[in-house]
């Protein structure tokens, strides 16, 4: 009963030509009520699904998708994204899709705006954004909206009615996951939450993680714990972290809300032999190296590669196969330790 019907089949069954069937299916042109009814009758009985292969063979329209990504040269955090996008490019190269990556300097709002202009100039069908800068993103999105360019986002969440979709992780929950792991290793003690950032562009990101982390301990009502927040910059870790350790000799755990746990691990290994539990984010090489050395206990995998891949592939499948684009795709919060890390590194 799973026979595949073609437009020709329907035309024959309804006693009309395939042109008329086509007009009914696509609401194009005029069709007499009589013909409409005959065709609808057939359509109600059978289960017509257009052959996507044939459709995409015919169509000469080339869909253009631009990806706006921070240049991995400035931060290796973004490297997996490039791989994810290249996977998507490879997968869809048989189709009429053109996917381009445009890089910007994550330290510079100017670079962000300039690269956006370059993309706008190309007037693609859709853009996948990494909305690092909130204010600028809102501006840019307005522009895209006016030009009828579809906007998807990933990694960072920005509220805007013009955004079709977001791919990322529930940061609040990921903070809770980190907390649950910390609590498992440390039944009590002082724990620091460290934010490492130069420009506060990840401020919301980090705050959500902290909120989740704290909520876990709040709920548990664990009076055995004391939580301290510490904000560091790349440039002052070497001086401020040792000072902080000195001031807090009872410190037993650190939760790092960015991918820079390796910086803490590295500095820490130079100044103390005490075992401080480190939990951080992302499987970048340096983090994995400290994980293997036992200096980082857990990493939470944000799977940027898959985020980027899904961001692109949902767009492509929307254009090619008319699939719906989900408003939000939340990737699982993968818990990584030294034993299972190798399976997540691609």
Q: Which residues bind its own copies (CB under 8 A)?
A: 49, 51-54, 56-57, 93-95, 170, 173, 176-177, 179-181, 184-185, 216, 330-340, 343-344
- Least distance CB 39 / DNA (angstroms): 9
Beta bridge partners of 192: 228, 254
Asked whether the beta carbons of 139 and 162 are under 8 A apart, the reply is no
Q: Is residue 25 involved in binding DNA (CB under 7 A)?
A: yes
For the sheet containing 189-196, what is the strand order?
225-232, 189-196, 251-256, 277-281, 298-301, 334-336
**Nearer to its own copies among residue 20 and residue 257 (C-beta):** 257
Q: Is residue 306 involved in binding DNA (CB under 7 A)?
A: no
Contacts of residues 17-26 at CB distance under 8 Å and 24 or more positions apart, as own/partner, are 25/50
- Least distance CB 51 / DNA (angstroms): 3
Asked whether the beta carbons of 173 and 150 are under 8 A apart, the reply is no
Select from DNA, its own copies, none the partner in contact with residue 43, using the beta carbon and a kind-dependent cut-off of 5 to 8 Å.
none
Q: Is residue 246 involved in binding DNA (CB under 7 A)?
A: no
Q: Is 229 helix (H, G, I), strand (E, B) or coil?
A: strand
Residue 340 structure tokens: 């299972």
Q: Which whole-number Å values give the CA distances from 166 to 78, 85, 106, 162, 219, in the listed order?
A: 17, 16, 20, 11, 29
- In the chain the first and final C-alpha atoms are separated, in Å, by 43
Q: Is residue 32 involved in binding DNA (CB under 7 A)?
A: yes
Q: Which residue has the tokens 């714990």?
A: 225
Select from DNA, its own copies, none the partner in contact with residue 34, using the beta carbon and a kind-dependent cut-off of 5 to 8 Å.
DNA
Select from DNA, its own copies, none the partner in contact with residue 184, using the beta carbon and a kind-dependent cut-off of 5 to 8 Å.
its own copies
Asked whether the beta carbons of 136 and 173 are under 8 A apart, the reply is no
- Least distance CB 344 / its own copies (angstroms): 5
**Nearer to its own copies among residue 246 and residue 337 (C-beta):** 337
The alpha carbons of the chain give a radius of gyration, in whole angstroms, of: 26
Phi, psi dihedrals of residue 210, rounded to the nearest 5°: -65, -45
**Nearer to DNA among residue 37 and residue 218 (C-beta):** 37
Select from its own copies, DNA, none the partner in contact with residue 30, using the beta carbon and a kind-dependent cut-off of 5 to 8 Å.
DNA
Q: Quick count: other Cβ atoms within 10 Å of Cβ 19?
A: 11
Number of residues that bind DNA (CB under 7 A): 29
Q: Give the footprint of DNA on residues 40-69 (CB under 7 A).
A: 50-51, 54-55, 57-60
Select from its own copies, DNA, none the partner in contact with residue 211, using the beta carbon and a kind-dependent cut-off of 5 to 8 Å.
none
Q: Is residue 332 involved in binding DNA (CB under 7 A)?
A: no
Helix axes 171-185, 203-220, angle to 10 degrees: 50
- Least distance CB 83 / its own copies (angstroms): 16
> How far is the C-alpha of 257 from the C-alpha of 230, rounded, in Å?
11
Q: Alpha helices, DSSP H only, in 221-284? A: 237-247, 261-271
Select from DNA, its own copies, none the partner in contact with residue 6, using the beta carbon and a kind-dependent cut-off of 5 to 8 Å.
DNA
**Nearer to DNA among residue 13 and residue 185 (C-beta):** 13
Select from its own copies, DNA, none the partner in contact with residue 17, using the beta carbon and a kind-dependent cut-off of 5 to 8 Å.
DNA
Q: Is residue 135 involved in binding DNA (CB under 7 A)?
A: no
Asked whether the beta carbons of 152 and 166 are under 8 A apart, the reply is yes
Select from DNA, its own copies, none the partner in contact with residue 35, using the beta carbon and a kind-dependent cut-off of 5 to 8 Å.
DNA
Q: Is residue 4 involved in binding DNA (CB under 7 A)?
A: yes
Q: Is residue 267 involved in binding DNA (CB under 7 A)?
A: no
Q: Is 69 helix (H, G, I), strand (E, B) or coil?
A: strand
**Nearer to its own copies among residue 13 and residue 338 (C-beta):** 338
Which stretches of the chain bind DNA, using CB under 7 A? 4, 6-8, 15-20, 22-23, 25-26, 28-32, 34-35, 50-51, 54-55, 57-60
């Amino acid at each position: 009963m799973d026979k595949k019907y073609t437009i020709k089949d329907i035309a024959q069954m309804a006693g009309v030509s395939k042109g008329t069937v086509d007009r009914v299916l696509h609401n194009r042109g005029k069709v007499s009520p009589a013909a409409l009814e005959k065709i609808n009758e057939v359509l109600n009985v059978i289960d017509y699904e257009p052959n996507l292969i044939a459709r995409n063979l015919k169509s000469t329209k080339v869909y253009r998708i631009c990806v706006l990504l921070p240049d991995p040269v400035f931060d290796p955090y973004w490297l997996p994204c490039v791989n994810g996008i290249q996977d998507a490019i490879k997968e869809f190269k048989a189709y009429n899709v053109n996917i381009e990556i445009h890089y910007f300097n994550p330290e510079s709002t100017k670079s962000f705006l300039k690269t956006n202009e370059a993309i706008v100039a190309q007037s693609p069908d859709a853009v996948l954004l990494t909305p690092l800068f909130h204010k600028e993103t809102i501006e840019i999105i307005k522009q895209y909206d006016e030009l009828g360019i579809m906007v998807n986002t990933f990694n960072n969440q920005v509220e805007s009615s013009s955004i079709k979709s977001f791919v990322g992780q529930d940061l609040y929950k990921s903070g809770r996951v980190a907390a649950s792991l910390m609590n498992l290793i440390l039944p009590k003690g002082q724990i620091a939450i460290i934010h490492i950032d130069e420009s506060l562009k990840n401020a919301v990101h980090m705050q959500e993680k902290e909120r989740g982390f704290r909520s876990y301990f709040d709920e548990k009502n664990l009076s055995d714990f004391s939580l301290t927040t510490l904000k560091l910059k790349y440039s002052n870790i070497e001086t401020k972290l040792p000072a902080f350790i000195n001031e807090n000799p009872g410190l037993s755990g650190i939760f790092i809300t960015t991918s820079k746990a390796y910086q803490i691990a590295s500095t820490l290994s130079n100044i103390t032999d005490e075992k401080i539990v480190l939990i951080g984010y992302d499987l970048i090489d340096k983090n994995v190296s400290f994980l293997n050395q036992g200096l980082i206990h857990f990493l939470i995998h944000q799977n940027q590669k898959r985020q980027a891949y899904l961001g692109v592939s949902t767009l492509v499948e929307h254009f090619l196969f008319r699939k719906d684009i989900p408003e939000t795709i939340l990737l699982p919060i993968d818990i990584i330790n030294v034993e299972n890390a190798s399976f997540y590194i691609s």
